[in-house]
């Protein structure tokens, strides 16, 4: 059958479809958390887009760590909701989409940097193998320390290794709790430069 729409001003036209809008890497709405009589969070609204770097500022006890733990699904909010890439925080899809570095973490001292990443690949179900570990160690400037034991690393090196393990599996959202704590000025600058690079790669960072 011949196409009669060409040149016919009355022929129906199809409007171009807009590309689907990606859900924010992290979306928090009306979030509140109480521990008994203590109000840790009250009515928090926040969005972190992919490729956006957002920092939380506040004194100790302001609820920064609580917010991070809720986003990870480690703590349930009293009211409100949090989603990671459109999935409810704590759900399997949300956990698969994020990487997390706690404020206080410790890797086994007898593990090498490579073994730490291999362990977290297994925990995350990553199939990246040695190639992924090499890429991550290069990203955090630890390629030369691949076989060095954690106990022989400086605090700054361990912090960068922590960021590398949070990136196992290629998360779209990176949650870092006090990533520059206890670091000297040089170490802080290194971590900040790394976060800027991750933002440029499209990773949302909180």
Domains and CATH numbers, the chain: 26-205 (3.40.50.300)
Q: How long a stretch of residues is the chain?
A: 206
Burial of 99 (0-12, 13-18, 19+ CB in 10 A): buried
> Rounded distance, CA 165 to CA 158, Å?
10
> What's the Rg (C-alpha) of the chain?
21
What is the edge-to-edge ordering of all strands in the sheet holding 38-48? 38-48, 26-35, 79-84, 87-88
Q: Are 107 and 158 in contact (CB under 8 A)?
A: yes
How does pLDDT run along the chain (206 residues), one tens digit per residue?
Answer: 555 545 555 555 555 554 456 788 999 999 999 988 888 889 899 999 999 999 888 877 788 888 999 999 898 999 999 999 999 999 999 999 999 988 888 899 999 999 999 999 999 889 899 999 999 999 888 999 999 999 999 888 898 899 899 999 999 999 988 887 767 788 788 888 888 888 888 899 99
Per-residue CA distances from 11 to 2, 4, 6, 8, 192 (Å): 14, 8, 8, 5, 57
């Amino acid at each position: 059958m011949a196409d009669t729409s060409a040149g016919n001003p009355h022929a129906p036209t199809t409007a171009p479809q807009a590309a689907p809008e990606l859900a924010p890497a992290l979306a928090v709405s009306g979030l509140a958390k109480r521990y008994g009589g203590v109000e840790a969070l009250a009515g928090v609204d926040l969005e972190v887009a992919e490729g956006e770097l957002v920092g939380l500022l506040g004194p100790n006890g302001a609820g920064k760590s609580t917010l991070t733990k809720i986003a990870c699904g480690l703590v349930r909010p009293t009211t409100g909701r949090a989603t990671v890439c459109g999935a409810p925080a704590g759900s399997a899809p949300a956990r698969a989409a994020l990487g997390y570095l706690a404020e206080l973490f410790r890797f086994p001292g007898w593990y090498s940097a490579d073994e730490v990443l291999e362990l977290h690949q297994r925990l995350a179900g990553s199939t990246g193998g040695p190639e992924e570990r090499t890429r991550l160690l290069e990203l955090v400037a630890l390629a030369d320390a691949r076989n060095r034991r954690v106990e022989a690393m400086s605090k700054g090196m361990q912090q960068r290794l922590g960021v590398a393990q949070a990136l196992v599996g290629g998360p779209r959202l990176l949650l870092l709790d006090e990533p520059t704590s206890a670091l000297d000025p040089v170490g802080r600058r290194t971590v900040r430069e790394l976060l800027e690079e991750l933002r440029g790669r499209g990773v949302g960072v909180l």
